[in-house]
Amino acid sequence: MVFHADNLTVLPRFADASFTVIYLDPPFNTGRAQTRRSTTANRIETTQDAANETDAAVKTPGRITGFKGQQYDRIKGDLLRYDDRFDDYWGFLEPRIVEAWRLLADDGTLYLHLDYREAHYAKVLLDALFGRESFLNEIIWAYDYGAKSKNRWPTKHDTILVYVKNPRGYYFDSSTVDREPYMAPGLVTAEKAASGKLPTDVWWHTIVSPTGREKTGYPTQKPEGILRRIVQASSREGDWVLDFFAGSGTTGAVAGALARNYVLIDESPDAIAVIRKRLPGATFE
């Protein structure tokens, strides 16, 4: 299923715990007006539930408090006072992350793909929002393509934060993942070198080749190899996979090829046009 819409208008249609994998590659710049706030305006007040001091008790309409209540609000307020340029970005992302958590199955996994300039803030906020015990991995996707800076170390990686819904019962099967070559094959047996090794949390994988078969022309297209690894490890055949910043539709292409069901959402007409061409068998709404 593919939806051409603002994701926040579609996500409430789905029942709690509907998806085993949620992959999100949100825009690094939402395109919305940047509104800088004063320190006073940025301060977040919290109250506590007298019946349970560990529960969230802020009930302000239209405001998301977070699952960890006061602790989350305090950390969020501290971060946004420190760098209020992040306020608009997190204000855009936060309600969507909360919806993603609601939609995750109990054994499900969230993969949040972020720019290096945003990842450190997001990790601290997600730790506070969902609990550090739900943090599984910080995956570094490293590549070596394009222009190289000469006045600093060239930035050639993205960060994928991995959080699980239930740290005591999430699904993960690394044996199904495509193996990769050993970096020093001479140090292992010929049999191991031939079969390859399981990936670690650093993934060396090229970007989509400008002349390769995968290329759709969509500017932020991600390679199928990255999504295939995610879907293989964290879902089974027949499970549902969600991507509500769908872009070029790579998540759907991979999920379909691996016999998973998928839902894609994007509000960009250009993205939907690419997905229609790439996934002609999908149902569009």
Instruction: Check which CATH number belongs to the domain holding 206 and give it.
Output: 3.40.50.150
**Number of structural domains in the chain:** 1
In a domain, 111, yes or no: yes
Q: pLDDT for 158-168, tens place per residue?
A: 999 999 999 99
In a domain, 108, yes or no: yes
How far, CA to CA in Å, does 50 sit from each of 29, 37, 185? 40, 31, 61
In a domain, 38, yes or no: no
Q: Please tell me the predicted confidence (pLDDT) of residue 218.
A: 84
In a domain, 21, yes or no: yes
- Of 213, 176, 169, nearest in space to 198 by CA: 176
Domain, as residue range, for 235: 2-32+103-278
In whole angstroms, give the CA distance from residue 38 to residue 67.
26
Q: Please tell me the predicted confidence (pLDDT) of residue 219.
A: 83
Phi-psi region at 103: left, alpha or beta (left = phi > 0; alpha = psi -120 to 50)? alpha
In whole angstroms, give the CA distance from residue 102 to residue 11.
10
Tokens at 157, concatenated: 């990686």
In a domain, 71, yes or no: no
Instruction: Output helix, strand, coil percentages for the chain, rounded to the nearest 5.
Output: 35, 20, 45
Q: Please tell me the predicted confidence (pLDDT) of residue 155.
A: 86
Q: pLDDT for 81-95, tens place per residue?
A: 887 778 888 889 999
In a domain, 210, yes or no: yes
CA 245 from centroid of its chain's CA atoms: 9
The residue with tokens 């500017």 is 219
The H or E element containing residue 164 is: strand 157-164
In a domain, 97, yes or no: no
In whole angstroms, give the CA distance from residue 146 to residue 173.
34
In whole angstroms, give the CA distance from residue 66 to residue 57.
10
Give phi and psi for 240, each to the nearest 5.
-105, 135
In a domain, 76, yes or no: no
Is residue 271 within 8 Å of residue 10, measured between CB atoms? Answer: no
**119 in helix, strand or coil?**
helix
Predicted model pTM: 0.85
Which residues have a Cβ under 8 Å from the Cβ of 214 and sit 6 or more positions away?
Answer: 208, 221, 223, 224
Per-residue pLDDT of the chain (285 residues; tens, 9 = 90+): 999 999 999 999 999 999 999 999 998 754 444 343 333 333 333 333 333 333 333 333 334 455 766 788 888 888 888 877 788 888 899 999 999 999 999 999 999 999 888 899 899 999 998 889 999 999 999 988 777 788 989 888 999 999 999 999 999 999 899 988 988 888 999 999 999 899 999 998 888 877 778 888 888 889 999 999 999 999 999 999 999 999 999 999 999 999 999 999 999 999 999 999 999 999 999
